A and B are shown apart, each in its own frame.
Chain A
Amino acid sequence: MSGWILEAIKGSSFKTKLSAMKKFFLEKSKVEDLTKCSLCPNMCRYACPVSIVDGKETTSPAGKARIAYLIKHGYIDLTTENVLPLYYCLSCESCTPHCFFQFNLSELVRPIRVEAIMRGEYPKQLNNLFDNVMNFGCAFGEVEKREHETNNRGDILIFRGCVVRKFYPELSKIATEVIEKLGYKSFMIEDEICCGYLLYEAGHDEYFMKIAKRNAERINRSGAKILLTLSPECTYTYRIIYPRYKIKMKPRVMHITEFIKENMGKIRFSERKERIVIHDPPKLTISLNKTRILLEILSEIPGLKVLRPMRNGKNTFYAGVSNLLYWIDKELLLEINRERLRELEEESNIIVTASPSAKRGLEIAGGKVYDLVEYLRDTIEGVRD
Chain B
Amino acid sequence: MSRKKISDEKLYKELVSLLGPRKVSNKLVDLISYSHDYWPISLLWFLKGEIPSLPSIVVFPESLRDVVKVVRYAYDNEIPLYAYGGGTGVLGGAVPEYGGIVIDLKRLRHIKLYEEDLYVDVGAGTNGMILENYLNKKGYTLGHFPQSLYSSTVGGWISTKAIGQFSTKYGGIEDMLLGLEVVVPPGEVIHIKPNPRAAVGPDIKHLFIEAEGMFGIITRAYLKIHPYPEKRVLLSFASKSLADALESVQNILRRGAKPAVVRIYDKVETLKWFHMKKKAKGKIGTIIILEGDNVLVEAERKIVEEEFRNAEPMGEEPVRYWLEKRFDVRELPEYAPLGIVIDTIEVAVPWSRAVDLYNDVINAMRDIEGTLIAYAHASHFYPQGVCFYFIFGGIPPKGISATEYYEKIWEAAMNATLKHEGAISHHHGIGRMRAKWIRKDLGDATMELLRKVKNAIDEKKILNRGNMGV
Contacts and interface: CB of A to CB of B under 8 A. Distances in A.
B88 interface: yes
Contacts of A58: 27, 29-30, 33
Contacts of B84: 57
A41 interface: yes
B125 interface: yes
B49 interface: yes
Interface in B32-79: 32-34, 38, 43, 46-47, 49, 58, 60
A16 B30 CA distance: 39
Given A57-B87, A67-B32, A76-B32, A46 B151 contact: yes
Given A16-B394, A36-B337, A4 B46 contact: no
B144 to A, nearest CB: 14
B338 A45 contact: no
Contacts of B106: 55-56
B60 A63 contact: no
B327 A43 contact: yes
Contact of B29 (A20, A39, A67): A67
A74 B333 CA distance: 20
Given A43-B329, A46-B127, A55-B107, A13 B369 contact: yes
A23 B333 contact: no
Contacts of A15: 397
A148 to B, nearest CB: 43
Interface stretch (A27-35, A138-146, A228-236, A249-257): A27-35
Interface stretch (A77-85, A176-184, A350-358): A77-85
A383 interface: no
A75 B22 contact: no
Given A8-B271, A37-B333, A40-B329, A19 B395 contact: yes
Nearest to A65: B333
- Interface majority SS on A: helix, strand, loop or mixed? helix
Interface in A6-22: 7-9, 11-13, 15-17, 19-20
Chain B, interface residues (CB within 8 Å), range: 35 or more
B373 A9 contact: yes
A331 interface: yes
B375 to A, nearest CB: 6
Contacts of A19: 395
Contacts of B328: 100
Contacts of A35: 47, 333, 337
A8 B373 contact: yes
Interface stretch (B128-136, B312-320, B426-434): B128-136
Given A16-B372, A16-B394, A57-B87, A41 B29 contact: no
B93 to A, nearest CB: 14
B372 A12 contact: yes
Given A12-B373, A57-B34, A75-B49, A7 B336 contact: no
A81 B28 contact: yes
A3 B336 contact: no
Interface string B350-392: 0000000000000000100111110100000000000000000
Given A81-B28, A100-B329, A70 B339 contact: no
Contact of B22 (A45, A74, A331): A331
Chain A, interface residues (CB within 8 Å), range: 35 or more
Nearest to B22: A331
Interface in B86-138: 86-88, 104, 106-107, 109, 125, 127-130, 133-134, 137
Nearest to B129: A46
A165 interface: no
A3 B150 contact: no
- Please indicate which of the listed interface residues B106, B109, B375, B397 has the most CB atoms of chain A within 10 Å of its own CB: B106
Contacts of B371: 12, 16
Contacts of A37: 333
Contacts of A76: 28-29, 32
Contacts of A44: 150
B268 A8 contact: yes
A356 B29 CA distance: 34
Contacts of A98: 150
Contacts of B327: 43, 100
A41 B394 contact: no
Nearest to A31: B337
B38 A4 contact: no
Interface in B289-344: 327-330, 332-340
B13 interface: no
Interface string A141-171: 0000000000000000000000000000000
B47 to A, nearest CB: 7
Contacts of B125: 55
A241 interface: no
Given A12-B371, A38-B46, A310-B137, 17 more contacts: A2-B275, A3-B275, A7-B271, A8-B375, A20-B340, A20-B395, A39-B47, A41-B38, A42-B86, A43-B150, A43-B329, A44-B150, A45-B127, A46-B130, A57-B33, A57-B84, A82-B28
14 contacts: A16-B370, A28-B334, A35-B47, A36-B333, A41-B38, A41-B86, A41-B151, A42-B87, A58-B30, A66-B32, A81-B29, A82-B29, A85-B29, A310-B134
Interface of A: 2-5, 7-9, 11-13, 15-17, 19-20, 23-24, 27-28, 31, 35-46, 52, 55-58, 63, 66-67, 70, 73-76, 81-82, 84-85, 98, 100-101, 310-311, 331
